[in-house]
């Protein structure tokens, strides 16, 4: 269901949703860290824009790692641009476990390009 093990910063304002997303990620073998944790060697950020802490973490990490993938949950595409984080992927709430897993997989799986 998920890609190989990754270190993921998770910032979700709703404690029930945060608990569920963390559980899903950890059961798949990923290491989940929360804002305020040292952000070394991250593979993905999953943030809820209403969490100012998550957006601040994302800005700090993006300044050091501009290509780090970010998944914003609970926002629309045009709102993602307003965050000032550069390119981000988004997943609007409500979403299913399968939709979340698919979004994480797409962001963690290196894209292969076939020669034309």
Q: Could you state, in order of their start, the residue ranges of all structural domains in the chain?
A: 7-108
Cα gap 28→38, rounded to integer Å: 22
Residue found under tokens 């910032």:
11
Return the CATH class of domain 7-108.
alpha beta
Mean pLDDT of the chain: 82
pTM comes to 0.84
Q: Cα dihedral sign for 110, 74, 6, 58?
A: positive
pLDDT at position 82 is 73
Per the structure block, which two tokens stand in for 85?
């984080």
pLDDT tens-digit series, residues 75-108: 666 666 677 787 788 898 889 999 999 999 999 9
pLDDT tens-digit series, residues 46-73: 988 777 777 888 888 888 888 889 998 8
pLDDT at position 15 is 93
Residue 24 has pLDDT above 90, yes or no: yes
H-assigned helices in 46-92: 52-64, 77-82
pLDDT at position 71 is 92
């Amino acid at each position: 269901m998920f890609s190989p093990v990754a270190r993921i910063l998770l910032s979700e304002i709703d404690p029930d949703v945060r608990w569920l997303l963390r559980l899903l990620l950890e059961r798949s073998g990923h290491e989940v860290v929360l804002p305020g944790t040292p952000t070394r060697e991250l593979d993905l950020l999953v943030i809820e824009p209403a969490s100012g802490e998550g957006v601040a973490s994302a800005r700090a990490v993006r300044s050091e790692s501009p290509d780090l993938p970010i998944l914003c949950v609970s926002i629309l595409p045009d709102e993602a641009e307003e965050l000032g984080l550069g390119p981000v992927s988004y997943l609007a709430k409500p979403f299913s476990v399968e939709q979340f897993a698919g979004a994480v997989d797409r962001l963690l799986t290196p894209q292969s390009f076939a020669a034309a």
